[in-house]
């Protein structure tokens, strides 16, 4: 076994534009052509991200899209390039699975942007599983908006709030106290068994608290994702006897397969603490796979440009602290799973290329690579058997 360790960090939704097939993906009925999460944030307010920019972040944005990102553009001192997804989707499972070496071989099922969004028999089965006379919502909606609009009715009726989006997802919101958190989790698990055979990627539990006029989601979200259709980087590493650490929602995304230890938190700040601790404590030969979700959940979907910018600059400090703790022989790769341009129309993800930034593998431009090449490269670094269809860029 090698002493080399690998840290694979996904900055959820931090796209850099330029996806060649963006025109086939839509937000509010308009194509994603021209979306560019990082460049457009920087154009609204120049970004100060010295650590990731030193690896090559600004250069990766220019390579992916040809756009300038004010504040970024230092001469690269790490490995840098950009990755393009082949899976058909702009969602969390597609991006993460392909990064882990498993492109999605099917078309996801999406619920129509209509009212009702769910087939009548499915809505009835959800209500039966909940033990209620029906469901609320049954439409495409923003999570915070629909909770504010239907939360009081939910408290009166006891019916769960069910909604979807442009992603392959079914989300269920319920009050933690009035409905019960464990009851919500059981309901989502039951509904996942109903919709996964339809190729719906995730059922997400969205608990909230408060009273009318002051409802707020809690950190107790839980994702029930369909299992990856083949062995991922995590599976291969664990099969080889390596410790695998999942930080954030990685465990949920991969249906808790191939994972030795889960490191959860109530916020990205908590997850940063776990990541930095693992830089000190993770075993020789181990893989740490982390997701930082708040770029997407708190700022991208809510179209909060200032909040997204501040989160990026905060995370750059985390990245700098991580790199300062890594050991000779370690590899760290920073990337993303899709875009979520907060300057764009609609409130959904955007189809974009993503950055690939590497520490511990010299100074080089890798150009345009595929998501699956990331898995192949991490496997090569850890001296694992090949993973998926990608080729190592190391």
* pLDDT, tens digit (0-9, with 9 covering 90-100), for 11-48: 999 999 999 999 999 998 899 999 999 999 999 999 99
The residues facing 171 across adjacent strands are: 163, 204
> Phi/psi class of residue 260: alpha, beta or left (left: φ > 0; alpha: ψ in -120 to 50)?
alpha
CB atoms within 10 A of CB 29: 8
Strand partners for 40: none
Q: Is residue 263 part of an annotated ligand binding site?
A: no
Q: Report the C-alpha gap between 255 and 278 in whole angstroms.
A: 22
Gap between the Cα atoms of 4 and 1, Å rounded: 9
* Bond before 208 cis per omega within 30 degrees: no
Annotation-wise, does 296 bind a ligand? yes
pLDDT tens, residue by residue, 97-140? 999 999 999 999 999 999 999 999 999 999 999 999 999 999 99
Distance separating alpha carbons of residues 19 and 342, to the nearest angstrom: 17
Cα–Cα dist 389/375, whole Å: 9
Distance of CA 231 to the CA centre of its chain: 19
Per the CB < 8 A criterion, the answer to whether 376 and 392 are in contact is: yes
- On the 0-12 / 13-18 / 19+ scale of CB atoms within 10 A, 125 is middle
Q: Which contiguous run of DSSP H or E holds residue 120?
A: helix 120-130
Any binding-site annotation on 167? Answer: no
Residues in the chain: 394
The pLDDT of residue 167 is 86
pLDDT at res. 139:
97
* Residue 284, helix vs strand vs coil: coil
Helices 92-99, 371-382: inter-axial angle, 10-degree rounding:
40
Supply the mean pLDDT for the chain: 97
CB 16 within 8 A of CB 64: yes
Q: Quick check: pTM over 0.85? A: yes
- How do residues 306-339 score in pLDDT, each as one tens digit? 999 999 999 999 999 999 999 999 999 999 999 9
Instruction: Give the 3-state secondary structure of residue 119.
Output: coil
User: What are the angstrom distances between the C-alpha of 51 and each of 5, 6, 268, 324, 358?
Assistant: 20, 18, 18, 10, 11
**Structural tokens at position 60:** 């990766």
Please state, in angstroms and rounded to a whole number, the distance separating the CA atoms of residues 21 and 97.
19
3-state secondary structure of 85: coil
Specify the pLDDT at position 68: 94
d(CA 172, CA 257): 24
Beta-bridge partners for 217? 208
**Whether residue 352 has pLDDT greater than 80:** yes
301 is annotated as contributing to ligand binding: yes
CA distance 171 to 355: 29
121 class by beta-carbon count within 10 Å (0-12 exposed, 13-18 middle, 19+ buried): exposed
Q: Does 2 score more than 90 pLDDT?
A: no
Q: What pLDDT does residue 1 have?
A: 72
């Amino acid at each position: 076994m090698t002493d080399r360790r690998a840290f694979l960090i996904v900055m959820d939704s931090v796209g850099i534009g330029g996806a060649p097939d963006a025109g086939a993906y839509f937000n509010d009925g308009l194509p994603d052509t021209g979306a560019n999460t990082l460049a457009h944030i920087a154009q609204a307010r120049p970004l100060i991200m010295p650590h990731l920019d030193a690896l090559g972040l600004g250069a990766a944005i220019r390579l992916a899209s040809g756009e300038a990102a004010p504040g970024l553009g230092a001469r690269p001192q790490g490995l840098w390039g950009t990755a393009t997804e082949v899976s058909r989707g702009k969602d969390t499972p597609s991006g993460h699975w392909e990064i882990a070496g498993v492109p999605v071989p099917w078309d996801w099922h999406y619920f129509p942007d209509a009212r009702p969004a769910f087939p009548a028999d499915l809505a009835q089965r959800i209500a039966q599983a909940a033990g209620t006379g029906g469901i609320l919502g049954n439409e495409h909606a923003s999570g915070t908006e629909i909770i504010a609009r239907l939360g009081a009715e939910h408290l009166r009726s006891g019916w769960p709030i069910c909604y979807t989006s442009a992603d392959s997802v079914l989300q269920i919101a319920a009050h933690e106290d009035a409905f019960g958190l464990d009851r919500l989790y059981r309901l989502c698990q039951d509904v996942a068994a109903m919709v996964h055979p339809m190729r719906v990627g995730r059922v997400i539990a969205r608990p909230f608290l408060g009273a009318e006029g002051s409802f707020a989601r809690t950190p107790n979200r839980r994702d029930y994702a369909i299992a990856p259709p083949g062995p991922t980087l995590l599976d291969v590493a664990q099969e080889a006897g390596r410790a695998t650490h999942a930080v954030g929602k990685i465990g949920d995304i991969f249906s808790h397969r191939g994972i030795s230890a889960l490191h959860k938190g109530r916020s990205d700040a908590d997850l940063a603490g776990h990541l930095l601790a693992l830089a000190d404590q993770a075993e020789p030969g181990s893989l740490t796979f982390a997701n930082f979700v708040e770029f997407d959940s708190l700022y991208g979907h809510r179209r909060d440009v200032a909040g997204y910018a501040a989160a990026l600059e905060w995370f750059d400090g985390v990245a700098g602290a991580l790199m300062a703790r890594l050991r000779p022989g370690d590899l760290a790769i920073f990337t993303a799973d899709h875009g979520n341009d907060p300057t764009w129309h609609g409130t959904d993800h955007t189809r974009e290329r993503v950055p690939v930034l590497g520490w511990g593998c010299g100074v080089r431009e890798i150009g345009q690579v595929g998501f699956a090449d990331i898995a192949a490269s991490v496997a090569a670094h850890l001296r694992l058997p090949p993973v998926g269809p990608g080729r190592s860029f190391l």
